[in-house]
Structure 1
């Protein structure tokens, strides 16, 4: 019977034995032998058993902890889902953990804030996701790993260079490992190059050559396709493509590593190029409202000749928006076609942040450890979803090279970039305007882009001075690299090394 099997399953035989007639007091037995008494005791026995079965989940018997994961890494969402299924059927099944995933857009931070306020945010979310909190830890949106029981053993397996303040540690507390590198390149449509009489094996190297190619493609398209496109509706690209392309011109953009200050005027040349393309009729319409996803969807359909690409686009055109055109990847063009220095490739932590609000942090920690394994990281590399900064991943764990279109053009040219991450500014709150909003305003209303960026530069650095004055424990020298060489890409050592000791609990 089902009830009897439930008794065996949950080990309730002994509990039921207290109701056996031969365990009762003799005087009670004599009463119990009477028919009505036997019926009452039997009925009570069944009611007690049914109650215990109903209450079983409350005692944690045969229960599963369900964890929610939010990711903005849409270029690898298919593989993440596959890996989550592997986790659920292996260690997840062993430890009673089940993962579910939600895919987000880049500017979905208001949704994240609302979920946090309501107390129903995700248990984990993707590293690099922009929450818009000045400090994720102070906001309760992230927790470090130091306090987990096996943290010390876990940390000992990684090389010492993993621990970089502001990238993998927060005031010395470990919250991640370095696991992702993203560089920028020109992505272009070879089919449209051929149609316009351009050499599909030689993408433009100078701004003038780019404008000429974009104009030829746009004229040929007659409103059906255009030479160039840019996602002007969003502000997250600030530290990504425009600044990386600006740095290829030999100019500091986003952050000036030698001076340790914001470098907003450095965007001038690249934004002027975009304004020129718009003026010449070579830009895909609606730049000011065009999101990155919308741009990539149009490129996949063959409607765009060129745009500023990032490594994650490899996954996009192979999975998220499978490209219907013959597409290629070229070096970042410069204003005169000459080499002026290496652009920045962003090195980021990965893969998951543990939400400080999660009620299941120990279970979330199991997820972090599983995804951080060399074997899992090697699989992500093999599938062309991730460039791992640790050379041992490729040297020892990768079994075969990725056969994913576009991967090699980014991964095998990483020596053309220098590796860096965000400046160490815990609690920094950015001014309302940024280079992307300034560009958007000039695009719509007109104006002097260089003059506006110069003003923005002064505003951001005035606020930076106030930030340092208010936060005396944070040293300006942490973000100054006096020997940084843009031509070779060597950062050197900071003027002052951050004085936090990485936790070794």
Structure 2
């Protein structure tokens, strides 16, 4: 056969190059893990129209997800970067929520800060008052982004005066975990767990035998905040700080005193034991079969079930509340994403593109199944991996049902105050004082409410509220 010469040779080379380019593009589309087909098409088009040699916009994301959570974050970032030629995200672990927030404060007067940051829910008031952020609502309104696809009870926490300031990311709420095998042995119905304070006490007394204690709930301020919301009670004044800026703690109102007295009564009756502030300690006692009931985050479910293995059957139930309490529900915990306004507009817009990617059903399904946090997007529950996860961990349905059963109100939207981290510590100290017989529930909460109110007043003056 004669060799190709002249024009024939160039035609062959052109055809081969076209075939290789098309094949590579197709492989890239098929392998961009975590992105939908539509996203891949749009992202590829953006890459192809990008001027030759243009440097991608860099987005720096500060987060507080370590360990296995950090690995899931890195995978999401890798998936996004693989799907975009015009934007590249760098995720930087900054330690705990408090450490990350302090680093952000220190970066305000320099160029060293992030484009976006993950902040825990109790930092919401500070983030708004800092005037350092561009509200998510700005981007939402600009392109008419459909918020109805997201969970209303999650969005409500981060919505103030009709504006969504942050996009929820890792979201959880507390549920009660119980040992179904111990319930059966005590003559209790394992499919009908206690729902009220009174029922929990009665069950705990029956379960406390043979070296097992009926219950242990960590002395955690988050739990007290949740007990208030579950009774439809507000934690601070002025509509939980949502009608206007809060200036008084309501920690010593009936909801708080009744809850604290209930916890102390179980301890006095030896139906519960005090293992301190750390949920890790109550979690270890529960998975070892030493206590029959405990409270923990929904995000702990997989870890708890895995730690128990086949030793016993783990049950889950709604957070209890007093008999006859008003309608309420749980407040979402976890953290959300904020975009900083001291970064160039193209960088902020690029961060918004990444935020939308994280909120999409595919990414939310991946995040949920890898971490145990709630999907913030409703359609994530339609994803096959989420259905498989629910089949494997049916206990998680309790968390989903509890979220959806929550009636939106100022109480369940959650309290907001600029000194929330300090307020949580003050509440935990009050809980310790009661459990250690140093103060009565009313005296401890009166003192705590007074101290929190003073700190709120100082903060409000500082930010000019």
**Normalised-by-shorter TM-score class:** 0.5 to 0.7
Aligned position for 2:214: 227
1:451 pairs with 2:436: no
Residue 306 in 1 paired to residue 297 in 2? no
Counterpart Cα distance in 1 of 2:106 and 2:461: 31
**8 A contact 2:62–2:114 mirrored in 1:** yes
Q: Structure 1 residues 332 and 428, CA, compared in 2 at 3 Å: closer, same or farther?
A: closer
Confirm whether residue 187 of structure 1 aligns to residue 180 of structure 2.
no
Aligned to 1:46: none
The structure that has the greater radius of gyration is: 1
Shift of residue 454, structure 1, vs aligned partner: 4.0
- 1:52-74 CA distance string (max 9 Å, x none): xxxxxxxx987894734313598
Equivalent pair of 1:434/1:456 in contact (CA under 8 Å): yes
Does the 8 Å contact 1:163/1:174 carry over to 2? no
**CA contact 2:64–2:100 (8 Å) conserved in 1:** no
Partners of 2:181 and 2:427 in 1: CA distance: 33
- Which of 56, 64, 70 lines up with 2:63 in the alignment? 70
Contact 1:215 1:282 in 2 (8 A): yes
Find 1:376's aligned residue among 355, 363, 373.
Answer: 363
**Cα distance in 1, alignment partners of residues 162 and 447 from structure 2:** 35
CA shift in 2, pair 1:317/1:198, >3 Å: same
Contact 1:168–1:175, Cα closer than 8 Å, also in 2: yes
- Which of residues 407, 423, 444 is equivalent to 2:396? 407
Quote how far apart the aligned CAs of 1:449 are: 0.6
Whether the 8 Å CA contact 1:73–1:103 is kept in 2: the answer is: no
The match for 2:316 is 329
CA deviation after TM superposition for structure 1 residue 315, in Å: 4.4
Kept in 2: contact 1:166–1:424 (CA 8 A): no
Work out which of the residue numbers 77, 84, 93 in structure 2 matches 1:102. Answer: 93
**Larger helix proportion of the pair:** 2
Work out whether residues 361 and 377 of structure 2, in 8 Å CA contact, stay in contact via their aligned partners in 1. no
Aligned to 2:281: 294
Matches within 5 A, 1:402-441: 402-403=390-391, 404-414=393-403, 416-419=405-408, 420-423=412-415, 434-441=426-433
Change (3 A) 1:400 1:368: closer
CA shift, 1:188, in A, is 0.8
CA positional deviation for 1:374: 4.1
Give the drift of 1:414.
4.1
Q: Which blocks of at least 5 consecutive residues in structure 1 are unaligned?
A: 1-59, 475-505
- Relative to structure 1, the CA distance from residue 375 to residue 258 in structure 2 (aligned partners, 3 Å threshold; closer, same or farther) is same
- C-alpha distance 301-268 of structure 1, shift in aligned 2 (>3 A): same
Partner of 1:128: 120
SS in 1 for 2:147: coil
The residue aligned with 1:86 is 79
1:175 aligns with: 165
Q: Secondary structure at the match of 1:346?
A: coil
TM-score after normalising by structure 2: 0.65
Partner SS for 2:331: strand
Instruction: Name structure 2 gaps, 5 residues minimum.
Output: 1-52
C-alpha spacing 1:75/1:407, structure 2 compared with 1 (3 Å): farther
Equivalence for 1:252: 233
Match of 2:262 in 1: 273
**How big is the shift at 1:408?**
1.0
8 Å contact kept, 2:63–2:100: no
Partners of 2:121 and 2:135 in 1: CA distance = 16
Alignment of 1:309-388 (within 5 A): 309-317=296-304, 325-335=312-322, 338-347=323-332, 351-355=336-340, 361-380=348-367, 385-387=372-374
CA distance in 2, matches of 1:381, 1:128: 18
Q: Which residue of 2 aligns with 1:53?
A: none
1:426 offset after TM fit, Å?
Answer: 7.0
Hey, what's the Cα distance between the residues in 2 that align with 1:185 and 1:227?
Answer: 16
Instruction: Give the direction of change, closer, same or farther, for the CA distance of 1:302–1:116 in structure 2 (3 Å limit).
Output: farther
CA deviation string 1:211-256 (max 9, x = no partner): 34434544312xxx53222222x4444423x3345x1xxx625257
Task: Say yes or no: does 1:239 pair with 2:225.
Answer: yes
Distance 1:368 1:423 in 2: 25
Number of residue pairs the alignment of both structures matches: 393
RMSD: 4.8
Structure 2 counterpart SS, 1:254: coil
Q: Is the 8 A contact 1:375 1:397 kept in 2?
A: yes
Alignment check: 8 A CA contact 1:169 1:175 kept: yes
User: Residue 301 and residue 100 in structure 1: after superposition, are their counterparts in 2 closer, same or farther (change >3 A)?
Assistant: farther
